[in-house]
Every structure is written in C-alpha cells, then in structure tokens.
C-alpha cells in the first residue's frame, strides 16, 4: 500500500537560527533538458533534491541518458542512445516543465511526441502551450495531433523572428535553447527577464552557443552546428529565499538568517518589506530577518521579473494576515492562484475575494490550526507558514505538491525551532 505523507505542525514556536537556500527549482528544471542538446557530459552542481527534479531525471533516463551522482552532490548526465522521441505521459502529467524537453528533442532527433503537460493547477483549465508550439512552427516544425499526443517534426530547424504576445518564462527559455541548434539567426522579442534565463544562457554560451541579450526583452541567438559538454552550477532559489524571508517576517518571533541566497534577485520583495516595516538586513549572499515593531498592511500586484513574483504571492498573503490594516493582493499572472486564500479564511484569516485575481486581507488576525489539503506547490508552502504561526495543530495533506519544490522542508524548519513532523498518514 502506498502511504501518503503529511505535515503535522504545532504552531506558535519561535523561529530563530539559520536556514540555507537550495539551488533554484526553476533553473534546475531547464538544466536537465539541456543535456539533450549535446553528446558530451553535462555536470550539474547544486541541484535541489526535490520531486520535480527527480521526475526530470527520470525523463532524461526515459530518453536514453544516464544520470549519475558525482562527488559533492553534483550529477553527471550523458547520452547513451538517442532512439526515443516520445515523452512518457506518466512523467509529462506530473510537471509542466516537462515541456522543456520538447525543443531539444526536436532540434537533435527531428521529432518530439508528448501529451499536454501537467503541473500546478493555477491557471484556467490546463495551462496553455500555444506560445511554444507557435514558436516551433515558426522555426519550421510541422505540428500534428494524434491520440491526445502532439507530434512535432522538423528535418532541420531554421532561425526565426518570434514575438511573444504574452511574456512567458519557460517559453522564452525553450525557444532560446532550441534556437541554439537551428540554422541561422533567431530573434526573440518581448522575452521574460528572470535570472534563471540569464543563467541558462550563460551556461549554453559556455558550451558553444551564441546567445546575446538574455536578461533583456530581446534575445538574439545565432545557431551553431553542435554543442559541447561542461559544468553548470545552479543559482540559488530566489523563490525559496523570498518565501523563508516572508515566513520569518510573518512569524515575527526571532532572528532568522537566510543563507546562500542572492538578495539582488529579490528587489521587489525588499521594496515591499520597506513599506510594510519588516526589519531586514541584506548582505552579499544572505538576508537576516529580525523582529519588527509593527507590520503595516500594504498591497501587492504580481508582475513579471523584476516585479513582484507570482510565486511569492501566497506567502506574502499570509504575512498580510499579520499586518495592521487592509491590503489588496492583486494576482495578475494566474487566475486560480488566489483560491487557496479560502483555506487561510478557514484558519481564521479575514480575507474577502473581490474576483479571481484580487483579494482584500484585513489584519492582524490570530490563525488557528486546521486539517488542510495542499492545493499546489506555493499555496501549500503558504499553508505551512500559516500553520507555523497558528495556534494549535495543523495537518497538511497532499504534501507531494510541496515537496515538488522544497527539499527536506520539515527537517530544515525544525532547525529553526519549528515543531513540524513529516508523518505517514
Ligand atoms: N502562457 C500562455 N501560453 C503559453 C505559455 C504561457 O498563454 O504557451 C501564459 C500563462 O498561462 C500565464 C503566463 O503566460 O498566464 C505566464 O506563464 P509562464 O509561461 O511565464 O509560466 P511558466 O513558464 O509556465 C514559470 C515558472 C512558474 C512561475 C512562472 C511565472 C518554471 C518551471 N515555472 O512558469 O513557477 O510561476 O514562470 O513566473 O520555471 C512555481 O515554481 O511554483 C511556478 C509555478
């Protein structure tokens, strides 16, 4: 019998001490598919040990690559055979970033077959992939659908001029990576500018790609015939760092040092902390959150990088339940990402939903422990934060969703003094 683990949290314990930030999930999920682009060995360092990364490793193996652990927690990836062009449905269903394997397969094997990707249910219906498919078609691929599978084929991809009508992170990364092996020049416009994109481009350039402009809204890629091997160190997870900082601020019970992070990637959060009166101090690779006199309510509007990250919205909403006054949380990017706020209301928060994109939080409120089910990764993490500051016992089920993105969460939180157990239910 498969035993489903859950978190059991006894809230109200002061949080103090140091917590180390892991490698970025959303950088790691691009680093692994990248290995399809070359016959040489790719060594990836600082890879987080999380469920989505395990699934990406399984995907690489299913596509004929060896994935082996190396000294110091690194992973080495090498092509063993290149026969398969189908992404297995059972893996594609588990994480949306599986779409990142499509471009490299198409560019190197001439074909990619895959069902519609799964992942967090945070957008209306299934999250669309039209911008990927349209981009591949512009690069000369032929798209067909058969038996609920997409099939893309191309003898040789060619450079193209592609404008993104909606700013998309993985869309930008996928077409940027794929264009590295296309004939000629690709120009991508209205690109996303997240730090993970620049990190990916830097690594691709180090193994032979010719990419200019990553981290700006226009990226120019000159196609090359082949790519080499190399070593890729995953950047620190800015969402994890921002989440832990927000958690410490919401707990407001002791000093918490968030270590091994890149504070420069979180300027929108620090600007928000300034307005809310959160007591924080930045250093080169860390941030220290100390008790604040008073947290003031102030709203946010999520935005593409460098604006306020949608992935931090749920943690920030919990913080606002502890702030004085009313704050408007405006989730611009996804239309299901505020639905979790109803679970906070069940814990005692005073939150009114204006429409699917906006809630008003009235604070401060005492939260109380509850039995809950994690709806998705970031909402689940917000429930953990709420449980840490709530009075009494909270049980959170469906923690696979949380463990998709946070390594050994209960162990790391216990080191800060939290009373969190991961138990088999
Ligand atoms: N969109 C389309 N068509 C497409 C692709 C996207 O309409 O073909 C829309 C989406 O529906 C959404 C908007 O574009 O409304 C932005 O989505 P984006 O494509 O940027 O999201 P993503 O690349 O799928 C990445 C992260 C998300 C993060 C978003 C926004 C990865 C693996 N995922 O998703 O991370 O929320 O960017 O920053 O990089 C998470 O870590 O919890 C997470 C969901």
φ/ψ (deg, to 5) at 167: -70, 125
**Beta bridge pairs of residue 169:** none
Q: Is 120 a catalytic residue?
A: yes
pLDDT tens, per residue, the chain with 425 residues: 556 899 999 999 999 999 999 999 999 999 999 999 999 999 999 999 999 999 999 999 999 999 999 988 799 999 998 889 999 999 998 889 999 999 999 999 999 999 998 765 555 556 789 999 999 999 999 999 988 899 999 999 999 999 999 999 999 999 999 999 999 999 999 999 999 999 999 999 999 999 999 999 999 999 999 999 999 999 999 999 999 999 999 999 999 999 999 999 999 999 999 999 999 999 999 999 999 999 999 999 999 999 999 999 999 999 999 999 999 999 999 989 999 999 999 999 999 999 999 999 999 999 999 999 999 999 999 999 999 999 999 999 999 999 999 999 999 999 999 999 999 87
The rounded distance, in Å, linking the Cα atoms of 186 and 162 is 8
Q: Does 300 belong to an annotated binding site?
A: no
Which residue among 48, 132, 166, 377 has the greatest number of ligand 1 atoms within 8 angstroms of its CB, and so is best to mutate? 166
- Burial-class residue 72 by CB neighbours within 10 Å (0-12, 13-18, 19+): exposed
CA of 372 to the centre of ligand 1 (A): 26
Closest-lying ligand 1 atom to the alpha carbon of residue 196: 39
Q: Where in the chain is the domain with CATH 3.65.10.10?
A: 5-21+236-424, 25-233
Which residue among 29, 98, 117, 171 has the greatest number of ligand 1 atoms within 8 angstroms of its CB, and so is best to mutate? 171
The rounded distance, in Å, linking the Cα atoms of 121 and 107 is 29
Q: Does 127 belong to an annotated binding site?
A: yes
Pick the catalytic residue from 120, 191, 261, 298: 120
CA of 195 to the centre of ligand 1 (A): 14
Closest-lying ligand 1 atom to the alpha carbon of residue 309: 38
- The model's pTM: 0.96
Topology, domain 5-21+236-424: UDP-n-acetylglucosamine1-carboxyvinyl-transferase; Chain (3.65.10)
φ/ψ (deg, to 5) at 373: -120, 130
The rounded distance, in Å, linking the Cα atoms of 350 and 366 is 10
For the domain made up of 25-233, the CATH class stated in words is alpha beta
Query: Smallest Cα–Cα separation from 230: which of 32, 7, 24, 44?
Result: 44
């Amino acid at each position: 019998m498969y035993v489903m683990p859950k978190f059991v949290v006894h809230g109200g314990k002061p949080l103090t001490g140091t917590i180390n930030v892991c490698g970025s999930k959303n950088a790691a999920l691009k680093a692994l598919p990248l290995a399809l682009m070359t016959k040489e060995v790719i060594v990836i360092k600082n890879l987080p040990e999380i469920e989505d990364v395990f699934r990406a490793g399984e995907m690489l193996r299913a596509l004929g690559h060896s994935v082996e652990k190396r000294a110091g927690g690194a992973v080495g990836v090498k092509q063993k055979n290149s026969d398969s062009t189908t992404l297995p449905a059972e893996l594609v269903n588990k994480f949306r970033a599986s779409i990142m394997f499509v471009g490299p397969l198409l560019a190197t094997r001439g074909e990619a077959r895959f069902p519609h990707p799964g992942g967090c249910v945070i957008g209306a219906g299934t999250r669309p992939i039209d911008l990927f498919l349209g981009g591949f078609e512009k690069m000369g691929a032929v798209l067909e659908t058969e038996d609920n599978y997409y099939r893309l084929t191309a003898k040789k991809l060619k450079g193209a001029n592609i404008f993104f009508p909606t700013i998309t992170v993985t869309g930008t990364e996928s077409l940027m990576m794929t264009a590295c092996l296309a004939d000629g020049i690709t120009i991508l416009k209205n690109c996303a500018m997240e730090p993970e994109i620049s990190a990916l481009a830097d690594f691709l350039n180090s193994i032979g790609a010719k990419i200019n402009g990553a981290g700006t809204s226009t990226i120019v890629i000159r196609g090359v015939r082949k790519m080499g091997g190399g070593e890729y160190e995953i950047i620190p997870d800015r969402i994890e760092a921002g989440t832990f900082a927000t958690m410490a601020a919401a707990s407001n019970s002791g000093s918490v040092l968030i270590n091994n992070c890149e504070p420069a990637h979180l300027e929108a959060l620090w600007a928000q902390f300034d307005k809310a009166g959160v007591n924080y101090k930045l250093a080169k690779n860390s941030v220290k959150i100390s008790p604040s006199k008073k947290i003031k309510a102030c709203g946010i509007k999520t935005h593409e990088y460098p604006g306020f990250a949608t992935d931090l919205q749920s943690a920030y909403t919990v913080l606002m339940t502890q702030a004085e006054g009313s704050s408007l949380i405006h989730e611009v990017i996804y239309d299901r990402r505020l639905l979790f706020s109803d679970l906070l209301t069940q814990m005692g928060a005073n939150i009114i939903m204006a429409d699917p994109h906006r809630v008003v939080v009235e604070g401060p409120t005492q939260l109380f422990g509850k039995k809950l089910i994690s709806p998705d990764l970031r909402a689940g993490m917000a429930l953990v934060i709420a449980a840490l500051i709530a009075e009494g016992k909270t049980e959170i089920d469906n923690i696979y969703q949380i463990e998709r993105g946070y390594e050994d969460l209960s162990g790391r939180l216990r080191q800060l003094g939290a009373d969190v157990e991961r138990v088999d239910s």
